[in-house]
Amino acid sequence: MRRVTAYVGAMLGAALALSPVAATAQSDPVPPEVAGLVVYASDYDVPETVERVEDALGEAGMVTLTLDHQANAESVGATLRPTTVVIGGAPPVGTPLLLQAQEVGIDLPQKFLSWEDEAGQVWLAHNSGEYLAVQSGIDPESPAVTGLDQAVGGLAVQASGATEPATRGADVTAYAEYRLEQPSNASVPQSIGRYQDAFAEAGLKELPVVDHQAGAESIGETLRPTQVTFAGNPKAGTPFMAAQQTMGIDLPTRFYARESASGDVTVGHVNIAALAQRHSVTGVDEPLAMVTKATAAFTNAAAGEMTMPEGGVDTGGGDTADSSNTVVIGFGLLAMLGASVLAVAFWRMRAKASA
């Protein structure tokens, strides 16, 4: 009798293991939970997901920059699962936020990260409007925030094939010292130029400059000078993504300059320590110290407080671009081309690292 009972129990266990319910429970992908990160399960592999994001951005006439973090990691002898970020946006979506707080310019244009996790599931993610708003002191209930969420959410659904997010990244809080800023003794363009000079002295390739003021002008809005640029090195950035792939949405490091109503210019960068906290990244003390030191040196140089050390500095926080593919992007070009607000010429640039 005991043998029969054991046999029946074993058969029932096997049947349950093979049943659709059990199989579903075992195979359901588990999305990562990161504050302010809206994540969708993608029906496609990473390259196709990225292409679909680019196509969707192109249909809206948005500027695009694509960085293949996996390829950049391989360029420095590191290993990383497929991970690619697309940076793109349009003045009608971002400008309403900028008019409320120029500080949000450091997080615009929006970023879309696609990656393959260790189980082979592909995800697509973007920052929530609430996350951007909270970091910049904007009311999360603002219509501008709602408009941003609708625009990027619709694009993510179109690109991923999902009907809704797998997770919406709750528990959004303002990180202490999210932006590390200081006054500059130069204009916004000059300060950004200093950033680029400092990047070059450190041996980094040039990445785009986004001119938010020009973008606002292209849709008939007035915004004080505000520009953002990017820089990083796979040797320092890859360890963060190896620890948590979602960190790829916050790489490369972002640097910006803005002019206040009184004419004072402020320069700054996103604090890598705050980003590591956001993504629950640990065990990266050495690259964290490297990035912290390098980004501070770059911002000091942009402010006019110092010159770069001879031979440059080590930097991190993401991926660099091949200079042959580098352009300076100004949304004002859209207006110069005489295009409509959302149906304009589309520039697509893929910047891959050569370290």
Residues 11-22: tens digit of each pLDDT = 333 333 333 433
Distance in angstroms (rounded) separating the CA atoms of residues 91 and 207:
20
**In this predicted structure, what is the pLDDT of residue 20?**
40
Distance CA 306, CA 304 (A): 6
Which SS3 state, helix, strand or coil, does residue 141 take?
coil
**pLDDT (tens digit, 9 = 90+) per residue, 273-303?**
999 999 999 999 999 999 999 999 999 999 9
**Residue 230 to residues 19, 52, 196, 254, 316, Cα–Cα distance (Å):** 50, 24, 9, 5, 11
Mean per-residue pLDDT of the chain: 83
**Single-letter code of the amino acid located at 311:** G
d(Cα 63, Cα 57) in Å, to the nearest integer? 7
Tell me the CATH number for domain 31-350: 3.30.310.70
What ranges do the domains of the chain cover?
Answer: 1-29, 31-350
Residue 313: pLDDT band (50, 70, 90) is low
- Residue-wise pLDDT tens digits, 195-224: 999 999 999 988 899 999 999 999 999 999
Q: What is the pLDDT of residue 205?
A: 82
In total, the chain counts a number of residues equal to 355
pLDDT band at 61 (very low <50, low <70, confident <90, very high): low
- Convert the pLDDT of each residue in 252-281 to its tens digit: 999 999 999 999 999 999 999 999 999 999
Span 30-41, average pLDDT? 96
The radius of gyration computed from the CA coordinates of the chain, to the nearest angstrom, equals 22
Residues of the chain with pLDDT > 90, as a percent, come to 72
Spell out the alpha helix ranges (H) of the chain: 2-18, 20-27, 46-59, 69-75, 91-100, 129-136, 143-160, 188-201, 212-218, 234-243, 272-278, 285-303, 332-336
pLDDT greater than 90 at residue 76: yes
- pLDDT of 149 strictly over 90: yes
Whether residue 332 has pLDDT greater than 60: no
